[in-house]
Amino acid sequence: MRKKYFLILSIAFFLLKDIETVGAQQIPIDTSQTQTIRIDPANVKGTPVGKLFEKVEFVPLETTKESTFGVITQLDVLDDRYLIYDRDTKSILIFSSEGKFINKIDGTKIPGNTEIKGKEIKGFELKKMEKQMVIAALTSSSRFFFDHDGNYLNQALAPPMDFPKYPIGTGKNYFQKFYVKNTSDTIVYELALVSPEQNVKPYFPFIKTRHLKDQFISGGENYSFNSLTGELYFTSYYNYTIYKGTENGLIEKYKLIFPLENSLPTDFLTNKSYVDKRIPFFKSNPKVIYSISNVMVIGDYLMFKISNFGGGLKNMLCLNLKNFDLISLNDLERDKTSNFLPVTDDGVGYDFANKGFLLNKNGFLYSSYSSHAMFKLYGMIPDNQKNYPKVMTNYFKNENSKSNPIIVKLKIKK
């Protein structure tokens, strides 16, 4: 069942791109600080929640007729609000820090957004406007701005080729995602460091039409930015290296080495026999890891996701950079720190296995799973361990498996 799920997910949702050597300028990447780390995903175990986290909080999201949704596609925190994008309803839902429903931003009801087809909300960003942070609901052609309670402010046209910018360190320099020198150029760069004087250091060039000639799949998020620390981590396709963005440029930070049965062929990027045949290769070699993604570095811990077509591997990993203990985040053992409630849905659901942590912000990690999974897991817990905070006691008393998802807020030990 699990193997089949991973295969379907890979084919249906992962971004398909190509590999093509591009004759374009790229600034050399600094390799002087590279740390080589051997990882064996078949030899990894879980750990008690309290050994890794000092605090765990469960936040049930209020279920009403207007607030009902299925899965958290995007999560962020603004002031004392949880902001959630739901891909199914193309809407942004706003909840208080206690999970109480506040408002819903519905793309079909935004003033001025009259052309509904093709103009639905595709996600959101947080933007600074007149010294305050506001919600920018994104459509294909416009941004619609709202305050943290979901009250409409105004509209602005989305500039062409408007991709995220990541301010690094002090914020003087920033990395631009999908950088192009001119909109008419055929060459795009995965990343480019840009200075206030507009001096540019571009990295990883590719041709815009690359997806027409080859297959390129990703298992998760290749760009991981921590706005609190100004740290950016980047992973490239079919590459086991983790890069870090600094104020001086991109550096090679960690190089992961896997057992032979889990590793890509050494010529996978250069041998033309693999071109446009990569998915069949992964189907025939289901133990091979094709992607490193969702990288987070918090204190002494390196967290990341590995992806393979066959499933079966513990895919959410946490490495202690001091003693090199490798922990499976899929197998965190519930204990008194979590009130003996599971902090992931692993074993009964796939939210955590597919997405991992949804957010790393203000010193906390955030994940989520469905009420369906929570009530199924609740039925497995012995009665003598069912001693919960009031919010969870009320949740189990008044809600059911069809209620809204739960947010799990975790503070990692330093």
Per-residue pLDDT of 295-349, as tens digits, reads 999 999 999 999 999 878 999 999 999 999 999 999 999 999 999 999 999 888 8
Bridge partners (DSSP) listed for residue 226: 231
CA 318 to chain centre: 15
Closest by CA position to 61, among listed 408, 410, 363:
408
Task: Provide the pLDDT for residue 17.
Answer: 40
Task: Provide the pLDDT for residue 190.
Answer: 94
Q: Give domain limits for the chain.
A: 2-412
The answer to whether 67 and 402 are in contact (CB under 8 A) is no
Per-residue pLDDT of 4-53, as tens digits, reads 333 333 333 333 344 444 556 678 999 999 999 999 999 999 999 999 99
Predicted confidence band of residue 285 (pLDDT cuts 50, 70, 90)? very high
Least confident of 86-90, 139-143, 258-262, 275-279: 139-143
Angle at 288 between CA 313 and CA 19, to 5 degrees: 130
Predicted confidence band of residue 2 (pLDDT cuts 50, 70, 90)? very low
pTM (2 d.p.): 0.88
Per-residue pLDDT of 58-91, as tens digits, reads 999 999 999 999 999 999 999 899 999 999 989 9
> For 2-412, CATH number?
2.130.10
Angle at 366 between CA 153 and CA 43, to 5 degrees: 150
How many angstroms separate the CA atoms of 212 and 99, rounded? 44
Task: Provide the pLDDT for residue 160.
Answer: 59
User: How far is CA 53 from each of CA 130, 157, 333, 414, rounded to the nearest angstrom?
Assistant: 37, 43, 11, 9
Per-residue pLDDT of 347-396, as tens digits, reads 888 899 889 999 999 889 999 999 999 999 998 899 888 889 999 999 99
Name the residue with tokens 């962020």: 76
How many angstroms separate the CA atoms of 102 and 237, rounded? 40
277, amino acid identity: K
The answer to whether 303 and 296 are in contact (CB under 8 A) is yes
